Structure 1
Amino acid sequence: MNTLRVRGLTSKGDLSEMNFSPSKLPSAVGGFKDFLKSAQEVYSKEQLSSMLSLIEEQGKRLVKTMSLADLKKYKEMVGRFVKYCLELGLKLKEERLFSGQGKQKVLTTVKIVDGKLIELTELLFSKNVDVFKVLSLVDEIRGLLLDLYA
C-alpha cells in the first residue's frame, strides 16, 4: 500500500511524527495580532501627521489671503481630521470597553473645535477683519487638533 506523507501526516492519519504544540499556536496568533495593531497605529499616526501639516499650511494660506474659498477648504480639512480621529477613537473604545473617559474628552474637544470654526467664519464675514484675531483662532484650532492627535 502506498503511503502519502505531507508534512508529517500520513494517509493513515498517523500524527506520531508531527511535532505539534498547541500552546505555541495562540501566542503566534496573538503576536500577529499585536504586530497588525502596531502597524495600524503607525499608519494612523503617519496619516494624522500628514493631515495636520496640510491643515497648518492651509491655515497659513487663510491668514494671508482671508478669502472665503480658503476658509471653506480649511474647514473641510479640519472636518476630515476630526472625523478620522473620532473613527480611531471609536475603534480604540471597542477594544477597551472599560475606558469611557477618552471618548468624553474627544467629544468635548470636537465641540470646542466646532465653536472655534464658527467663530472664525463669523470673523471673516464681518466688515472689520482683525488679522491677529484670525491668526489667534487658527493657532487655537491647531492646538486643539494637536490635543486630539496626542
Structure 2
Amino acid sequence: MNTVKVRGLSSKGDLSGISFHPPKPSSVVGGFRDFLKNAQEVYSKEQLSLMLSSIEEQGKRLVKTMSLADLKKYKEMVGRLVKYCLELGLELKEERLFSGQGRQKVLTTVRIVDEKLIELTELLLSKNADAFRVLALVDEIRGLLLDLYA
C-alpha cells in the first residue's frame, strides 16, 4: 500500500491505477502560434494579390498614357509591394533561400526590380520613348514581382 500526503492529509490505498499527466502548455501555445502564422500568411497573400492586380492595372495605364504622373504612381506602388514583401520575408519566413553565390534571392530580385524601374524612368524621360519597349519593361517588372511574391 502507498501512502500519499497532500498538504497535511494522508490517504492509504493502492494508487497504481491513477496517473496524472499535466497538460503541455507548449503544444497549446504552438498550436495557437501555428494558427496565427497561417492566418497571417493567408492575409498576406490576399494583400499581395490585391497589390499585384492594382500594379498591373497601373502598368496598363502607364503604357497607354506614357505620362510621368502615371510613372510616379507606378513606381510608388511597386515600392510599396517590394517593401511589404521584404517585411513579410523578415517576419514570416523562417527559411532563407540562397543563390549559388551565397546571396539571398529576395535581395537580388529587389535590386533587379530597382534597375528596371530606373530603366523605365529613363526611357519615359527620353524623347524616343517607344511604347513597345515601355510595355516590355512593365511586363518584365511584373514578372519579377511575381517571382518575389512566390
Q: Do both share a fold (TM > 0.5)?
A: yes
Distance 1:105 1:126 in 2: 32
In the aligned structure 1, how far is the partner of 2:21 from the partner of 2:37?
Answer: 25
What is the distance in 1 between the residues matched to 2:108 and 2:92?
A: 17
Question: Conserved in 1, the CA contact under 8 Å of 2:63 and 2:131?
Answer: yes
Identity, % of aligned positions: 80
* Contact 2:97 2:105 (C-alpha < 8 Å) held by counterparts: no
Residues 10-62 of structure 1: per-residue CA shift (max 9 Å, x gap):
xx9x9xxxxx8434432111111100000000000001000000000000000
1:115 matched to 2:112 = no
Q: In the aligned structure 2, how far is the partner of 1:85 from the partner of 1:21?
A: 43
Bigger radius of gyration among the two: 2
Residue of structure 2 equivalent to 1:83: 83
- Backbone CA RMSD of aligned residues: 2.0
Pairwise CA distance, 1:100? 5.7
The one-letter code matched in structure 2 to 1:101 is F
TM value normalised by structure 2: 0.80
Q: Write out aligned runs for 1:45-124 (5 A).
A: 45-92=45-92, 95-96=94-95, 99=96, 101=98, 104-124=104-124
Please give the alpha-carbon distance, in whole angstroms, between the structure 1 residues aligned to 2:38 and 2:116. 33
Secondary structure of 1:101's counterpart equals coil
**Alignment deviations for residues 59-97 of structure 1 (CA, whole Å, 9 cap, x no partner):** 00000000000000000000000000001111145x44x
Q: What is the TM-score when the length of structure 1 is the normalising length?
A: 0.80
Q: Distance in 2 between matches of 1:75 and 1:139?
A: 14
Counterpart of 1:8 in structure 2 is: none
Count of residue pairs the alignment pairs up: 130
Q: Deviations over 1:103-130 (max 9, x none)?
A: 7100000010000000000000111111
Q: Structure 2: which amino acid aligns with 1:129?
A: A
1:38 aligned partner: 38
**Gaps spanning 5+ residues in structure 2: where?**
1-6, 10-19
The 2-side partners of 1:22 and 1:81 are apart by 46
**Higher helix proportion (structure 1 or 2):** 1
Partner amino acid, structure 1, of 2:149: Y
